[in-house]
Amino acid sequence: MALKCRVCVTGAGGYVASWLVKLLLSKDYIVHGTVRDVSNDKYSHLNNLDKAAENLKLFKADLLDPDSLAAAIKGCNGVFHVASPVPSGSVPNPEVELVEPAVKGTLNVLKACSEANIKRVVFVSSVAAAALDPNWPKGEVKDETCWSDSEYCKATNNWYCFSKTMAEKEAWSYAKQSGLDMVTVLPTLVIGPMLQRTTNASNLVLIKLLKEGYEELENKRRFLIDVRDLAEALLLAYERPEAEGRYMCTAHTVKSEDIVGMLKKHYPNYNYPKRFTDVTEDGSYSSEKLQKLGWQYRPLEGTLIDAVERYKQGGFLD
């Protein structure tokens, strides 16, 4: 795909999208980024990126306002749909706060893409859209063929999983019916340094391990991906003509106790969990399809160090 290509990134100020914008600018893309309020200082980190002055334009847009999306997408060759609500606490009204913006917002973006004759859409789904299938064979690695069971998600109050599953299913249904060229990427838990000034749900997982001082914590397996490697995966899914369908995106499977062990080696003085209790867990995920596309990922230890240094700099560990 030609450089100086013009692309739109929805939710540009978010954790993953900020790194994607940075990567796109570094590759000489012209980027239209959608944000909720162009004048808000919380997006200043985007305007400070290299090449932002000449190649980044921010648009005020709302996922539930199709006209605002059309203005941002107009004139672009490709679209990265990254924006979606991610809860960091309890959600009193999940249908309105999670499901509607995820599903309706995605369809609004895709309709705007159809109208603007967009060449390819890369949609950031989530492992949440594949993780909860009670009928998946025990012990078998989950890959792109696995979908979360939406009724099971509802019955178990996994509203985030439900919202991501419904959004991706509706997206595929629309893409097939309209002929839109779409690729979806399903990341596991995304960690690593932040460009934005406020914490987000996935980084809070690490921050709590460092400072919460839990007496006891379940020694759960974590499926981790560095935010910068995810940005690379999204660009690969956009640039490679042969990319198609869904791509699972995960790099490291590691238990909480082992993460703490790595962190303690470099940062011995934080308020780590006192002890861990073992839990029985089943299943894991494969990124083999993405790796065949040429994707690689970095070692976990470097990701953890880069993340902690950013937390220290931002005052998140005080």
Terminal-to-terminal C-alpha distance of the chain: 45
Q: What 3-state DSSP class applies to 79?
A: strand
Number of Cβ within a 10 Å radius of residue 208: 14
Number of Cβ within a 10 Å radius of residue 255: 17
Which positions are annotated as active-site residues? 164
The H or E element that residue 8 is part of is: strand 6-9
Q: What is the dihedral of CA 136, 181, 296, 166, to 10 degrees?
A: -40
Residue whose structure tokens are 């560095």: 226
For 112-129, b/e burial (b = at least 16 CB within 10 A) is bbeebebbbbbbbbbbbb
d(CA 270, CA 292): 39
Residue whose structure tokens are 């060449």: 119
* Cross-strand pairs, 58: 33
d(CA 43, CA 15): 11
d(CA 51, CA 100): 35
Whether the Cβ atoms of residue 317 and residue 207 lie closer than 8 Å to each other: yes
Whether the Cβ atoms of residue 133 and residue 147 lie closer than 8 Å to each other: yes
